[in-house]
Amino acid sequence: MSEVTTYRCDVCGKLKQEANNWFRAIASLAPTFGIVTWDAPLQRPSGELHLCGMECAQKAMAKAMQEGK
């Protein structure tokens, strides 16, 4: 039996559907913050943010910039 994984936007809480245009982001220990498309590989998938679209990606980046990440 296969495992089903559901994702929820870490900014607004929206549930991921098949047709959504989602992004993922990761803030590393260094002062960097990166956003990639949903299908792009991440070197460290643990601690990633799930973002439901451009608006939430922009909010996440603005928050990271305010926090100095």
Residue 67 has pLDDT above 90, yes or no: no
Residue 69 has pLDDT above 60, yes or no: no
- DSSP readout, 3-62? -----B-TTT-PBP-TT---EEEEE-SSS-EEEEETTS--S--TT-EEE-SHHHHHHHHH
Q: What is the pLDDT of residues 11-46, one digit of tens each?
A: 999 999 887 789 998 866 566 778 889 888 776 656
Q: Which residues lie below 8 Å from residue 68, measured CB to CB, with a gap of 6+?
A: 31
- The C-alpha atoms of residue 32 and residue 18 are separated, in whole angstroms, by 29
